[in-house]
Amino acid sequence: MFGIGLPELIVIAVVALLVVGPEKLPGLAKSLGKGLQEFRRATDDVTESIKDTLRPEEIKKDVDGLKDSLLYGGKEEHNKDTAPKNQA
């Protein structure tokens, strides 16, 4: 995680123990855990919201419509216009 190994984590824990003190360290760790959990939940919510907003099927449909309008001059029924007519 973030390129931090075991020796770095030990140094961080010792510094935190010296700065905060042994009485408040468990509470600080609990608060930090809750904060990270809330952050993860918020990022998951944002990701789901973006996925719901950017539905790939609708984007493909819009792109296909734009492509057809550029290729066939805005005629939505280009198959009828370009299909050969049967003459009896």
- The predicted pLDDT at position 88 comes to 46
Question: Residue 48 and residue 57: Cα distance in Å, rounded?
Answer: 16
| Per-residue pLDDT of the chain in tens (88 residues, 90 and over written 9) | 567 888 898 898 889 888 888 888 889 889 989 999 999 999 999 998 888 777 777 778 888 888 888 888 755 554 555 555 555 4
What Cα–Cα distance (Å) separates residue 52 from each residue in 47, 55, 61, 88?
9, 6, 16, 52
> Do 29 and 36 form a contact (C-beta atoms < 8 A)?
no
